[in-house]
Amino acid sequence: MSGVTPIMSRPIVTLTQHIHEQQRRFPVATGDLSWLLSGVALATRIIESYVRRAGIAEVLGEVGTDNVQGERVQKLDLLANETILRCLGYREIVGILVSEEDEEPTLVMQPSDGGKYIVLFDPLDGSSNIDVNVSIGTIFSILRCDENDQGPDSAVRNCLQPGVRQVAAGYVVYGSSTVMAYTTGEGVHMFTLEPSIGAFVLQSENVRMPESGKTYSVNEAYRDSFSRGVQDYLAWTKTKEAGGYGSRYIGSLVADFHRTLLKGGVFLYPATAKNPSGKLRLLYEANPIAFLAEQAGGVATDFSGRIMEKKPDSLHVRTPLLIGSKNEVERVMEFVGRE
């Protein structure tokens, strides 16, 4: 068939090769970021091995404690967290590690000693789905340390940067296959883990999010505590005029966003009575997926302004999130604007 590249003739490009090629195209890029991203990839390959054996390797269930978020800690949460800390904590270019699971940042190395980067991550997003075999994921965001700020408390101050300062971000979704998506600000690139060789292999370069999509993704159990505008939007999607919307909600941000990135539509986690500032965390959930969304042509807002311009006031600060296809986000905002 003309125009269709037979799969056999497509080159096999691993994540490591791709990162190096990206770095070669941008001479200003040092090998450091590539080295850091390969550390993230190593950690997620190890986490994937735990997730795939969860039922066998006795890693299901709760630890019996709550994390800084007040959520029940799952055994796999801790394993994933420890794996990332062990894989990145010894990469000489890492300055600070920030995890959803840890109240305080982990100081690895002063910027003056080479600790150039901050890695912020949700080690295993969607924990409540672990025991029922539903897709879960790892989300990461990478910032640069401000080498001029070496005072006391500089570590936390260094982490409180708006999302526009991210140098890279991505996620790994552990689903029917294990897929990584990452960006360094030069498009979104997607890789599938090939278990037989333990490598992430390039699946798609410069992924684009459809500009529209008749799918909305929200936990409608909280509908009565959504704002009037959000409630009106959800009611509108069910009208004949709307032309037939579908609803999909997995309850794992990574999985719900991965679908939105590929198929279009909109994901909403508004402020609710239970979470008046929203439930999702700005630094290591909303910002990294907002970076990916914008790089793919999508939009990410907190229902009032651009997510990536928000100045965080604390490490675990939460935010409402509206993210997805440009036209769908604009449609939601039309209803919100009439409140």
Which of 34/67 has CB closer to ligand P6P? 67
Instruction: Please tell me whether residue 134 binds ligand P6P under the rule CB under 6 A.
Output: no
Instruction: Please tell me whether residue 128 binds ligand P6P under the rule CB under 6 A.
Output: yes
Task: List Cβ neighbours of 122 (8 Å cut-off, separation of 6 or more).
Answer: 99, 100, 138, 139, 281, 284, 285
Instruction: Please tell me whether residue 223 binds ligand P6P under the rule CB under 6 A.
Output: no
Choose one: 35-43, 149-157, 251-259, 323-331; the region binding ligand P6P (CB under 6 A). 251-259
Instruction: Please tell me whether residue 219 binds ligand P6P under the rule CB under 6 A.
Output: yes
Choose one: 40-48, 51-59, 84-92, 125-133; the region binding ligand P6P (CB under 6 A). 125-133
CA distance 1 to 81: 47
What Å distances lie between residue 144 and 27, 97, 225, 292, CA to CA?
Answer: 18, 12, 38, 18
Residue of 295, 303, 338, 296 whose CA lies nearest to 322:
303
Task: Estimate to the nearest angstrom the gap between the alpha carbon of 125 and the chain centroid.
Answer: 9
Instruction: Please tell me whether residue 279 binds ligand P6P under the rule CB under 6 A.
Output: yes
Instruction: Please tell me whether residue 252 binds ligand P6P under the rule CB under 6 A.
Output: yes
CB of 82 to ligand P6P, least distance (A): 19
CA distance 170 to 188: 9
CB of 52 to ligand P6P, least distance (A): 20
Instruction: Please tell me whether residue 312 binds ligand P6P under the rule CB under 6 A.
Output: no
CB of 215 to ligand P6P, least distance (A): 15
Member of 115, 126, 163, 175 binding ligand P6P (CB under 6 A): 126
Instruction: Please tell me whether residue 81 binds ligand P6P under the rule CB under 6 A.
Output: no
Residues in the chain: 339
Which of 32/122 has CB closer to ligand P6P? 122
Tokens of 322: 């509206």
Instruction: Please tell me whether residue 88 binds ligand P6P under the rule CB under 6 A.
Output: no
The DSSP secondary-structure symbol of 41 reads H
Q: How far apart are the first and last CA of the chain?
A: 53
What Å distances lie between residue 105 and 76, 287, 305, CA to CA?
Answer: 20, 18, 27
What does the binding site for ligand P6P look like in residue numbers (CB under 6 A)? Answer: 125-128, 219, 251-253, 256, 279
